[in-house]
Structure 1
Amino acid sequence: MPATPPESPAPGGIGLFEKWLTIWVGLAILAGIGLGALFPAVFASLSRIEYASVNLVVAILIWAMIFPVMVQVDLSGLSRIGRQPKGLIITLVVNWLIKPFSMALLAVLFFETVFARFIAPDDAAQYIAGLILLGAAPCTAMVFVWSQLTRGDPNYTLVQVAANDVIMIVAFAPLVAVLLGVTNIVVPWDTLLISALLYVVAPLAAGTLVRRMLLQGGTVSGHSRLDRFNARIKPVGMAGLLITVVLLFGFQGNVLLERPLVIAMIAAPLLIQTYGMFVLAYGAAWLWRVPFSIAAPCALIGTSNFFELAVAVAISLFGINSGAALATVVGVLVEVPVMLSLVALANRTRSLFDRKET
């Protein structure tokens, strides 16, 4: 039997623009806060363009971020996932057996002990609820961006996200109900299903169609066209990310300005949880000799949150002005800069995995 040719690394990675992406994101955050303060009516109007608690403007921008990655997905390669199940196992264990419970423990520790003297009990309970919602919702959309920035295997990333989505439909409501101590929790299933459709199904279908069109007419010429297309469309994904950050901070910038101390308190357990889950998943992948192209996305998927769903559920259960909704919004605010720092850490430690494989 002839040897299987080695797979080429996924296109992407850290280029000149991505190298300074943290700076651009920082500027986008400042721009969002400033524009939100100067033009509150504009951002209020944009925030109302939604269906089933899914903001359609943000959905389009996230779609733009994901589509360039989906063009790289070779569906014929999905059959090879079973040969390397370790990354998927780590992702599922971290996301469903560890992360929700560790987030709940950290939330209780900080708001019933560490910060108890500074916060009223009713407010503390609300913040705990919001953090639990974040911890129980593994990321769906932004993971594709983090995977691309680490040159992750796009096919494997797709499988990991799809597996999380399937489990989330079944497990999210009962898991949150147990952690919140609520027996009649109402989850906006239309939000969950529409989000999966917008953030996974639609861009995957479009990316697959474009890929097939570009690859027609011969292997060499087809892949040349595909490479040129990917090079041209890559800036669209980065622009989508930056504009999304501007919008999110424009929507919520007033909260940052009005309640900075509360924001810092909520961010503290979130930061510990995020970095802790990354170290756990990334370390497990290294010890288990998982290839870097799978290990990095695997750890990032186990780290980030499906903040769209968490915000929607918090608003549905507790109200738009509740402490729970505020906590989920803080999750949005810390997500991008923290995940970018973890992307940079993963790329700097790639050599550890390379040596492990040799």
Structure 2
Amino acid sequence: MTDHALVAEAQDAPAIGFFEKYLTVWVALCIVAGIGLGHLLPGVFGAIASAEVAQVNLPVAVLIWLMIVPMLLRVDFASLAQVGTFWRGIGVTLFINWAVKPFSMALLGWLFIGFLFRPWLPEGEIDSYIAGLIILAAAPCTAMVFVWSSLTRGEPNFTLSQVALNDAIMIVAFAPIVGLLLGLSAITVPWDTLLISVVLYIVLPVIVAQLVRRRLLASGGQRALDRLVGLLQPLSLVSLLATLVLLFGFQGERIIAQPLIIALIAVPILIQVYFNSGLAYLLNRISGEQHCVAGPSALIGASNFFELAVAAAIALFGLNSGAALATVVGVLVEVPVMLSVVWIVNRSRGWYERGSRVAGSAD
């Protein structure tokens, strides 16, 4: 694919749509619906929970595939050829995504969930909440970053190449990082289930998405691919919301008993988003990278592939686990917090470009 086509593809990524813009509202409604349905239809939710094969819940697996595959259709691994063009921004983002974010989230989880907030949380779920936070931070965002990048007038080739590179790394790095940090947290790591999750929710969706992508581009070009992505996007969001209804159908009793749980879990998530985005933004400025690269770099460095996190948490710890709930809190705060980062990046552009190395690199 030519450079022009890559730029056109990224620029054609839609601005934040109605459903994405109000994702926090839909998640809140799913919390209410899930809790209510869990009370009214306990038998139905029990049947869904028991529909498992090799510790994989089949209804949830189908929903998660419907979430993930449409997002991966946007990723063009041919854009990896552009990596060297933006080496400073790529280096900063990789450092944040893989050397800082999972570990900073683990530290924040231990500090807030394991220590400061422990008296207000159910004792038996403390480790599970921390595990969910770690899983959430171990997977960089794949889809929504195209929206965030466009809102900051980000360099489209950088965004494409960075997402493709992160997805390639995630195939081999997700399981080791999650296993390492769960082990350091003294949480038993079900390695067989973790590896199955990587294959089922990363490797296979990537392969399927790339095969479909290549077939469509060969037969109908970019227009055919855009048409399919547009058709599948609403299905992806509906599948996400249906999964959340199931999760809260099982979590209802716990949340009703302790309604502060969601707010307390949100605290380390919010801190790590602002910390990692700020650090990425500052490191790009120090390195002399352009603002159109620094913006998406900060956003990619801070955001999470929450669909994968939800899938992995369910596979590892179950539908009614604290880990699954923690990843869902990430979904709840994703849109408003990332939009606030977009606002900060856009408003600080003048300050950013007054940096001596940034100004020098533009001359």
Residues 353/42 of structure 1: CA separation in 2 closer, same or farther (3 Å cut): farther
Kindly provide the CA deviation profile for residues 311-349 of structure 1, in whole angstroms up to 9, marking residues without a partner as x. Answer: 54446xxxx88xxx42x1331231112111133234445
Post-superposition shift, 1:163? 0.8
Post-superposition shift, 1:36? 2.2
Q: What's 2:312 paired with? A: 309
Paired AA for residue 180 in structure 1: S
Kindly provide the CA deviation profile for residues 24-71 of structure 1, in whole angstroms up to 9, marking residues without a partner as x. Answer: 333233222222222122222223333444433233223223333333
Residues 112/230 of structure 1: CA separation in 2 closer, same or farther (3 Å cut): closer
Q: What's 1:21 paired with? A: 23
Q: What's 2:147 paired with? A: 149
Distance, in Å, in 1 between the alignment partners of 2:279 and 2:23 is 25
TM-score (norm 1): 0.75
Distance, in Å, in 2 between the alignment partners of 1:118 and 1:167 is 34
Paired AA for residue 31 in structure 2: I
Post-superposition shift, 1:165? 2.9
Residues 56/352 of structure 1: CA separation in 2 closer, same or farther (3 Å cut): farther
CA contact (8 A) 1:136 1:172 kept: yes
Post-superposition shift, 1:12? 2.1
Q: Where do 1:163-174 residues align within 5 Å?
A: 163-174=169-180
Kindly provide the CA deviation profile for residues 274-304 of structure 1, in whole angstroms up to 9, marking residues without a partner as x. Answer: 4433443355456643254554334314999
SS at match of 1:144: coil
CA contact (8 A) 2:93 2:301 kept: yes
SS at match of 2:142: helix
Kindly provide the CA deviation profile for residues 212-266 of structure 1, in whole angstroms up to 9, marking residues without a partner as x. Answer: 3221xxxxxxx44444444444323332333233233223233212332455444
CA contact (8 A) 1:69 1:144 kept: yes
Alignment equivalent of 1:299, drawn from 273, 297, 302: 302
CA contact (8 A) 1:104 1:135 kept: yes
Residues 211/111 of structure 1: CA separation in 2 closer, same or farther (3 Å cut): same
Alignment equivalent of 1:214, drawn from 220, 245, 259: 220
CA contact (8 A) 1:73 1:208 kept: no
TM-score (norm 2): 0.74
Distance, in Å, in 1 between the alignment partners of 2:59 and 2:213 is 20
Q: Which runs of 5+ in 1 are unaligned?
A: 216-222
CA contact (8 A) 1:33 1:249 kept: yes
Paired AA for residue 334 in structure 1: V
Q: What's 1:39 paired with? A: 41
Comparing 256-265 with 345-354, which one deviates more in the overlay?
Answer: 345-354
Distance, in Å, in 1 between the alignment partners of 2:186 and 2:339 is 38
Residues 262/76 of structure 1: CA separation in 2 closer, same or farther (3 Å cut): closer
Q: Which runs of 5+ in 2 are unaligned?
A: 151-155
CA contact (8 A) 2:66 2:235 kept: yes
CA contact (8 A) 1:68 1:233 kept: yes
Q: What's 1:219 paired with? A: none
Distance, in Å, in 2 between the alignment partners of 1:353 and 1:209 is 42
In the alignment, does 2:337 pair up with 1:339?
no
Q: What's 1:180 paired with? A: 185
Distance, in Å, in 1 between the alignment partners of 2:284 and 2:305 is 12
Post-superposition shift, 1:10? 4.5
Q: What's 1:109 paired with? A: 111
Residues 40/180 of structure 1: CA separation in 2 closer, same or farther (3 Å cut): same
Q: What's 1:193 paired with? A: 199
Paired AA for residue 281 in structure 1: A
Distance, in Å, in 2 between the alignment partners of 1:262 and 1:156 is 34
Distance, in Å, in 1 between the alignment partners of 2:211 and 2:348 is 33
What's the C-alpha RMSD, in Å, of the aligned pairs?
Answer: 3.7
